[in-house]
Structure 1
């Protein structure tokens, strides 16, 4: 007996609705962990604030509050950053759990190893951006302020917005190798796609390097070159991961 069009449509949409339901569940788990981290981040905000002020790249840093909401807003910003960092491994685990049914047993074990590396690479990027990029950018702006004869009066929100706007984008870019490796291992990316996108990727990374550093060639190179090396390293990892995936598929076949 021939099936009706309506029954065919139901059969076709069931897998999609199942995936959407699973994705929604994973997103809810991530939001719960992020919310718990946000509550914990409120307790870590003050120590982190004290450390960053004490370790500022200048001895003449005097922060001021220009609004009654500055202190509250800063507390929430620190709590958000702390929660974001702590939630990275859990988010990667939820992503792995979402795609796990489509992976073979060997692929499941292999990709699960990438979860802790997501946090490690983020911390490496955070260290590089804080101890290399941020001091260059801040000292350049301070020098320009002195040259123009302006009083250095910094608002606390403006100072930490400047800090986080440098730290977070660069730290996230350091996640590129592990993301590319993961997507290549599950078959979404392959080296051919990355090689075709090389010119665009290089342009974007160089643009980011120029935007977050002072306008001089040495500073631009100190940031842009590591980012370009990260991309090329990602291409190399993609090549290795994709080759292993193809080999595993052939062995299973």
Structure 2
């Protein structure tokens, strides 16, 4: 009889967890849809912002072809959907993190709840910072290099879909890479990663980051190094932050042992 009661409790717990997960997913998806709709409402202003940056860059290069063209109506739709989606992803990210935190909150101690909650704004700010860094710092270098390759040799026609695909290829990886320090801090706090391990695999990490740099940049050695340097700096920042978290945990453990 007791065995049957335990099974019923387990089934109720699973049902409750699934219900809670469903609730968190519905909230996240609803927020994504709201931001997506908001992106569509202001799509012309958003598009004009990027178009103005594109035109200014070409004017600086003395390129007379300063207009974005489309090859068909579906290209316009693709650009609008892409821009609205990026706005929705950026806007939904802190809400997604909060919903994940609320879902795992019952399993955390009060101290763990407080510490993990502080990661949410950091994740959002780093994501936005990565997008801005990729767009304002790295993208102009790569764009100028690629345009200069065809200078006086080709008649260049810039299509909107190709240009925005180019922007996404440059900016989104940096938005993701900027999350590395906070991820390493979180994994260190869980005891999964240690700063000593990060230092030990440093040369392999550098090699991987340089390969990634070559994948998202043109076949130019200087540009590949320019792209790889911020990634290497982010890795070094990750080691430093991981070390800070590890030292704090070690001090807390020592204090707890002393008190005991």
Match for residue 143 of structure 2 among 131, 138, 146: 138
Per-residue deviation, 1:195:
4.3
Unaligned runs of 5+ residues in structure 2 are: 60-64
Per-residue deviation, 1:63:
1.2
Superposed CA offset, 1:57-95 (max 9, x none): 212332111012111221111100111111121122122
Secondary structure at the residue paired with 2:219?
A: coil
Aligned CA distance change for structure 1 residues 13 and 215 (closer, same or farther; 3 Å):
farther
Match for residue 95 of structure 1 among 79, 83, 100: 100
Secondary structure at the residue paired with 2:72?
A: coil
Is contact 1:103-1:186 (8 Å) kept? no
Provide the residue aligned with 1:58 in structure 2.
Answer: 58
Per-residue deviation, 1:100:
2.2
Match for residue 150 of structure 1 among 154, 172, 176: 154
TM-score (norm 2): 0.83
Is contact 1:42-1:79 (8 Å) kept? yes
| Partner Cα separation in structure 2 for residue 45 and residue 10 of structure 1 | 51
| Partner Cα separation in structure 1 for residue 107 and residue 202 of structure 2 | 29
Match for residue 238 of structure 2 among 219, 229, 234: 234
Provide the residue aligned with 1:181 in structure 2.
Answer: 185
Mapping 1:5-24, distance limit 5 Å: 19=17, 21-24=19-22
- The answer to whether the aligner puts 1:126 opposite 2:131 as a matched pair is yes
Per-residue deviation, 1:209:
1.2
- The answer to whether the aligner puts 1:84 opposite 2:89 as a matched pair is yes
- The answer to whether the aligner puts 1:109 opposite 2:114 as a matched pair is yes
Secondary structure at the residue paired with 1:215?
A: coil
Per-residue deviation, 1:45:
1.8
Provide the residue aligned with 1:159 in structure 2.
Answer: 163
Q: Which moved more, 1:195-204 or 1:59-68?
A: 195-204
